[in-house]
């Protein structure tokens, strides 16, 4: 399968590290010009220096209006938008205050809506575009230790389906990707938080999967590149008939035939 994104411009939010960086690298390898996004100019510059390909620095906190404007100034037009930015963390449900609920919604949901609203009209006018939302198994299997995070990922499934209807018949596809438990630096901290910081990483990972994610059919954490492979495919012309979908890259974690 040959994926060629030459001539396409992409923006991946939260792409200085983790899943976002893997997605950006995958799109760049396929020939796209890729906007690298993070809150600070320094982290974005380091990521651009670290990666290969046709890259554009697009710093800005897209959970805020002024940060979003900075990104739009750097990349006024894109063909591929990957809404990857997200925060997560364990917290007892009854201890999550109003400000924290709002923060999670602002970062994980409203930032993606804001960028979709900015870029979708141009895609529809040009008759081609790809918008993706990086959701999570937590959208379907709400984790007891972070229901505020799960709520935002459920919201992304609804947002994705709704904007796909808005783009119907235009040549623009809109999808969400349900990522399963994935190995990133942030997840390593999360795993150690739950199973103990004294355990070596491999032992901690096995304990985490056994205790907290036993439904996984992979029985291991997914690597960021495995998520990126699906995103790159969905961004390509080969995925022209896939829209309004919640596509699973969850290692079989969600125990259902459909999401």
119 is known as an active-site residue: no
CA–CA separation, 70 and 245 (whole Å): 30
**How far are the Cα atoms of 61, 73, 132, 140, 235 from residue 230, in angstroms, in the given order?**
26, 28, 11, 19, 9
Q: Residue 109 contacts by C-beta under 8 Å, 6 or more apart in sequence?
A: 152, 155, 156, 159
Strand partners, 161: none
The token pair at 114 is 């804001």
Task: Indicate where the chain has its CATH 3.40.50.720 domain(s).
Answer: 9-181+224-239
The token pair at 16 is 């200085």
CA–CA separation, 108 and 86 (whole Å): 5
Choice among 104, 119, 133, 149 that is catalytic: 149
Per-residue pLDDT of the chain (259 residues; tens, 9 = 90+): 899 999 999 999 999 999 999 999 999 999 999 999 999 999 999 999 999 999 999 999 999 999 999 999 999 999 999 999 999 988 999 999 999 999 999 999 999 999 999 999 999 999 999 999 999 999 999 999 999 999 999 999 999 999 999 999 999 999 999 999 999 888 888 899 889 999 999 999 999 999 988 989 998 999 999 999 999 999 999 999 999 999 999 999 998 887 6
Nearest in space to 116 (alpha carbons), one of 61, 180, 172, 178: 172
CATH of domain 9-181+224-239: 3.40.50.720
């Amino acid at each position: 399968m040959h994926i060629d994104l030459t001539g396409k411009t992409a923006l991946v939010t939260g792409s200085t590290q983790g899943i976002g960086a893997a997605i950006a690298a995958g799109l760049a390898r396929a020939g796209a010009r890729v906007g690298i996004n993070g809150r600070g100019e320094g982290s974005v510059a380091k990521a651009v220096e670290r990666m290969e390909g046709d890259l554009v620095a697009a710093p800005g906190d897209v959970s805020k209006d002024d940060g979003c404007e900075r990104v739009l100034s750097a990349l006024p037009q894109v063909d591929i938008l990957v809404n990857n930015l997200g925060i997560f963390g364990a917290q007892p449900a009854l201890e999550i205050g109003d400000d924290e609920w709002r923060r999670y919604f602002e970062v994980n949901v409203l930032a993606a809506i804001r960028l979709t609203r900015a870029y979708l009209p141009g895609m529809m006018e040009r008759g081609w575009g790809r918008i993706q939302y990086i959701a999570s198994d937590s959208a379907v299997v709400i984790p007891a230790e972070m229901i505020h995070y799960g709520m935002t990922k459920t919201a992304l499934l609804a947002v994705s389906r709704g904007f796909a209807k808005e783009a119907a018949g235009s040549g623009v596809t809109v999808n969400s990707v349900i990522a399963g438990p994935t190995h990133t630096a942030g997840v390593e901290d999360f795993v150690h938080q739950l199973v103990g910081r004294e355990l070596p990483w491999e032992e901690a990972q096995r304990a985490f999967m056994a205790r907290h994610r036993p439904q996984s059919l992979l029985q291991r954490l997914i690597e960021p590149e495995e998520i990126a492979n699906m995103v790159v495919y969905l961004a390509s012309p080969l995925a022209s008939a896939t829209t309004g979908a919640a596509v699973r890259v969850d290692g079989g974690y969600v125990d259902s035939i459909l999401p």
